Chain A
Amino acid sequence: MKLIIPTILIATFASALAPLASAQGGPNCPNTIATNIPAKVQSGGPYTHCGLGIQIFGFPITLGGSKCYRYQFIYPAHQECQGATNPGTACINENSLPVGLDVCECSLLGVIGTGISVPRCTCKSGGSAGTVDDAQTITCNAQP
Chain B
Amino acid sequence: MRWILACVVLAIVALILEQWNASRPQAELQSARVRETEPQRAPRDEGLELAALAAREELAPAAPAADTPEEALDLIALLREVAVAFAGQDAGALQVPLQKIAGQPARCEEVLLLLEKGGLRGDELASAGSVITLGVVVSLYSSPQRPAGADGHAFTVEVLEGLARVEPPEQLDLAQRLIEARVGEHFVLDLTYLPKILELRTRYPEQAELYSSLLVHMAENLAEGRGLEEFRALFLTQGQDPTAVQLSLSALLRTDAASWLPLAEELFANASGNSALRAAITSAIATSAPVELASSALARLAGPSMYDSFAVLGLREGGCEALAARYSELVSSDGNPLARRMLVSGLRNEGEPVLVGIAATDPDPSVRSQALLTSSLARPSGPALLDQLETLHGQRADPAHGISTQHAVLVAGNVLINSGDVERERTRDFLLRIAGDSSESDADRLSALRTLKPWMPAGALDNWQIGGQSVK
Contacts and interface: CB of A to CB of B under 8 A. Distances in A.
Interface of A: 35, 37, 40, 42-46, 49, 52-59, 61-64, 66-67, 71, 73, 75, 82-83, 95-96, 98-99, 101, 103, 108, 111, 116-119, 125-133
B136 A63 contact: yes
19 contacts: A44-B308, A49-B180, A54-B136, A56-B99, A61-B139, A63-B136, A64-B180, A71-B311, A75-B307, A82-B273, A98-B410, A99-B304, A101-B307, A101-B377, A126-B417, A127-B376, A129-B377, A132-B304, A132-B305
Given A44-B312, A131-B369, 8 more contacts: A42-B307, A45-B315, A59-B143, A67-B176, A75-B305, A96-B406, A126-B418, A130-B370
B145 interface: yes
The 10 closest A-B pairs by CB, nearest first: A126-B378, A127-B414, A59-B145, A116-B88, A44-B308, A42-B308, A128-B410, A132-B304, A73-B308, A54-B91
Contacts of A75: 305, 307
Interface in B408-467: 410-411, 413-414, 417-418
Contacts of A128: 373, 377, 410-411, 413-414
Interface string B290-305: 0000000000000011
A80 to B, nearest CB: 8
Interface in B298-342: 304-305, 307-309, 311-312, 315, 341
Interface of B: 84, 86-89, 91, 94-95, 98-99, 102-103, 132, 135-136, 139-140, 143, 145, 147, 173, 176, 180, 182, 272-273, 275, 279, 304-305, 307-309, 311-312, 315, 341, 345, 366, 369-370, 373-374, 376-378, 406-407, 410-411, 413-414, 417-418
A83 B369 CA distance: 27
A57 B305 contact: no
Nearest to B312: A44
A62 B183 CA distance: 10
B91 A99 contact: no
A115 B67 CA distance: 36
A129 B312 contact: no
A54 B377 CA distance: 37
B145 A58 contact: yes
A114 B98 CA distance: 22
Contacts of A52: 86, 89, 91, 94
A43 B283 CA distance: 10
Most chain B CB within 10 A, of A35, A61, A119, is at A61
A18 to B, nearest CB: 34
A11 B339 CA distance: 54
A65 to B, nearest CB: 9
A44 B311 contact: yes
A59 B304 contact: no
Q: Secondary structure of the B side of the interface? A: helix
Given A57-B102, A63-B135, A71-B311, A127 B86 contact: no
A45 B312 contact: yes
Contacts of B103: 57
Nearest to B102: A56
Contacts of B275: 37, 40
Contacts of A61: 136, 139-140
Contacts of B132: 63
A127 B305 contact: no
Contact of B89 (A56, A67, A96, A117): A117
Contacts of A49: 180
A129 B311 contact: yes
Nearest to A64: B180
Contacts of A45: 311-312, 315
Given A56-B136, A129-B373, A35 B406 contact: no
A66 B98 contact: no
Contacts of B413: 127-128
Nearest to A75: B305
Given A61-B139, A66-B173, A111-B87, A56 B95 contact: yes
Given A126-B417, A128-B413, A103 B89 contact: no
B353 to A, nearest CB: 20
A53 B86 CA distance: 10
A40 B309 CA distance: 14
Contact of B417 (A54, A83, A125): A125
B140 A57 contact: yes
Q: Which of B99, B272, B345, B410 has the most CB of A within 10 A?
A: B410
